[in-house]
Amino acid sequence: MNKIYIKVALALLGIAGYMQNVAFASETAGLSLRGMSTSCPSGSKVFEEYKDVLNDSYDETLEVIRYVHPTLDLLEKLSLVDVHDYSTYTTENGHKIYNKKIGNMDIGRLDFTIPSASKYIHVIRHYWDFKYDKTPDNKIINGKVVRLYCKNYVVFEKHNPDPNNTPPKKTYSVCSRRPVTTSTEILCPSRILNYDGEINKETELTQVYKNQKRAERNIDPEEALVNLGENLSGFAIKYDEDNDQVLVTYINAIYDNGNSTEFADNKRQRDHEYTKIIKLAQRIIANDYDYPPDMFVSTQ
């Protein structure tokens, strides 16, 4: 195995041990250990594919985990919110899309079920997949990978949709997955990092992550979302063995920053995401996968 692969693996194992033996300060209180056992890839395939953007910094990896996990917690809590006061739209396929406006946040939510609990791993793998060899319309997570910490923590480069930015301004978002036996949260690259520079292999992001706004814990999740004041999208996936099914909730909350063009574009993109997500669910139900699940996206 290449030396850099070993270095990254050892760094991640060190983080896991640190998290198990040290009580974090208040800003890290409640940081879940869920998924840390699966953070380190079992092989070097992911490292090989993205070796040019691989990062082995212990401190930076720790900070990205501290930054991301409160957001993953928020996604999970939002998926449990009662939708009785949400407006409802039913698609032509019978799926219900929920919507609620709170302050400057426009919350969109899609709930659906995949029959057969045995497909839990397949659901996680396919909604997480971001490989380059798939077209944007055939995957949910899109963007250019500019930094890889391990297979569950990735930084993407995207472009601001505002047409006033010429050329389009580069933006960066962290995408993360927290898989465990009975539930998994996936943070899509939706929260834009408050960072004006350009990320390349030499860019140091430890302090950047420290300076980002954290999702609040221990308050109502919708209130926490409003206080966050940023776009947020992702999945909460649950293994329902008792009813032999997989429960999936997709959250796509849009922050209205007063830019009507950007807000309208985000809403159009959300509708497009709903369509792609439903189509992928139908393919999973029909066992009609467009690629065989492999170790690159494995949660094992």
- 209, 63 contact by CB (below 8 A): yes
Return the bridge partners of 50, or none: none
| pLDDT for the residue numbered 155 | 97
Q: Which domains does the chain have, with CATH numbers?
A: 3-297 (3.30.530.20)
The CB density around residue 261, as the number of other CB atoms within 10 Å, is 11
pLDDT in tens, 21-31: 333 333 333 34
| pLDDT for the residue numbered 207 | 98
| pLDDT for the residue numbered 294 | 47
| pLDDT for the residue numbered 161 | 59
Residue 269: pLDDT over 90: yes
Average pLDDT over residues 215-229: 97
**What tokens does 19 get?**
């998290």
| List of residues 6+ apart from 29 with CB closer than 8 A | 217
| pLDDT for the residue numbered 140 | 92
> How many Å apart are CA 27 and CA 207, to the nearest integer?
15
Q: Which of 20, 46, 48 is nearest to 34 (CA)?
A: 20
| pLDDT for the residue numbered 8 | 53
| pLDDT for the residue numbered 159 | 77
> How many Å apart are CA 216 and CA 135, to the nearest integer?
35
C-alpha dihedral, 156 to 76 to 179 to 234, nearest 10°: -30
Average pLDDT over residues 104-125: 96
- Long-range Cβ pairs for the range 83-89 (8 Å, 24+): 83/109, 83/111
- Average pLDDT for the chain: 84
Helix (H, G, I), strand (E, B) or coil at 100: strand
pLDDT in tens, 37-83: 344 444 457 778 888 999 999 999 999 999 999 999 999 999 999 99
Helix (H, G, I), strand (E, B) or coil at 170: strand
> How many Å apart are CA 225 and CA 214, to the nearest integer?
10
pLDDT in tens, 143-201: 999 999 988 999 999 876 565 666 778 999 999 999 989 999 999 999 999 999 999 98
Enclosing H/E stretch for 46: helix 45-49
